[in-house]
Amino acid sequence: MSDLIARALPVYGLPEDTPLTLLNRSENETWRAGDLILRLHRQGYHTKPEIASELAWLTALQDLPGLNVVRPVAGAQGLVTQVDHRFVVAFAPITGQELQPGDDLARWFAPLGEITARLHLQSRQWTPPAGFTRKRWDVETILGPNPHWGDWRQAQGLEARGEALLTRATELLGAKLHAYGTGPETFGLIHADLRLANLMVDGDRLTAIDFDDCGFGWWAYDLASALSFIETDPRLPDLIAAWVEGYTRIAPLRAEDRAMIPSLIFLRRVLLTAWLATRADSDTAQGFGGPAYTHGTLDLAERYLTDGLAEFLA
């Protein structure tokens, strides 16, 4: 893959001998190349119009008060570069470090709630350009027969008893989400992947990066995505409360949205369980994946069926 990145360098005005460093292999590959961060898109996932739409939204988000997001950089082909049949995009580097599970997360979840609310306010008011297209994150595309991120039934270490448990839990989950609905008061253009690895901390500054999965989903799902891979952390109720406090400083959060937070956290966990099975080559899967994560999902499913994860209610 480094050959493809090397061939993209002249498009961004970079010398052919620019040092390349692979930073991350997840849904895509992320490389540092000189003063730029380059993302090589996974083949067959996003179309060129989808990628261009992500960058159109990011461009519209630049320099808004109280909102720090990664900045896309255009090359000679525009914001999306094509090398053979692969797509490459560039971003300005961000100073600081990724937020980590061992950090003082309670300090950051109220500011994250504020950032999320500002994203949602802009999304609600923004008129996307003609041709704007992004994936939907709903019951059908997450739990249906052809989900974007794979079928949870393929999870590593899942046996018949666990599959039966998850079937019952996801049927209840689907019913609740269908009742919640996808009207504009509950559903719109969101980041959809505000997990810790996509949040950069520099002093008191918090910056959201990696809008690769942005699309149309439930507003409150952005909180669920922020809790990815830490769903069993005992700090979760406090983190949820801090996020809600920060969010409601900027925008209202209805009682119906608060009531759905546990269901959306469980939905995200099921989605990640499926994703880890289908992206076993990723750094993320190697760090979090395997039967242990699946078993944790089953524990969460049992609690969801028992009391609806009442401890997560905000």
* CATH fold of the domain at 8-97: Phosphorylase Kinase; domain 1 (3.30.200)
What pTM did the predictor assign?
A: 0.95
Pairing of strands 199-202, 205-208: antiparallel
- pLDDT at res. 203: 96
* CATH fold of the domain at 98-312: Aminoglycoside 3'-phosphotransferase; Chain: A, domain 2 (3.90.1200)
Looking at the chain, which residues constitute the CATH 3.90.1200.10 domain(s)?
A: 98-312
Whether the Cβ atoms of residue 192 and residue 137 lie closer than 8 Å to each other: yes
- pLDDT at res. 281: 64
State the DSSP string of 215-284.
Answer: EEEETTHHHHHHTTT-TT-TTHHHHHHHHHHHHHHHS---HHHHHTHHHHHHHHHHHHHHHHHH-TTSHH
152 phi/psi in degrees, rounded to 5 = -60, -20
**CB neighbour list of residue 298: distance below 8 Å, 6 or more residues apart:** 162, 165, 166
In this structure, which amino acid lies at residue 28? N
**CB neighbour list of residue 300: distance below 8 Å, 6 or more residues apart:** 231, 232, 266, 269, 309
Looking at the chain, which residues constitute the CATH 3.30.200.20 domain(s)?
A: 8-97
- What pLDDT tens digit does each residue of the chain (314 aa) get? 689 999 999 999 999 999 999 998 888 999 999 999 999 999 999 999 999 999 999 999 999 999 999 999 999 999 999 999 999 999 999 999 999 999 999 999 999 999 999 999 999 999 999 999 999 999 999 999 999 999 999 999 999 999 999 999 999 999 999 999 999 999 999 999 999 999 999 999 999 999 999 999 999 999 999 999 999 999 999 999 999 999 999 999 999 999 999 999 999 999 999 998 877 666 665 667 688 999 999 999 999 999 999 999 97
Report the distance separating Cα 300 and Cα 304, nearest Å: 6
- pLDDT at res. 1: 60
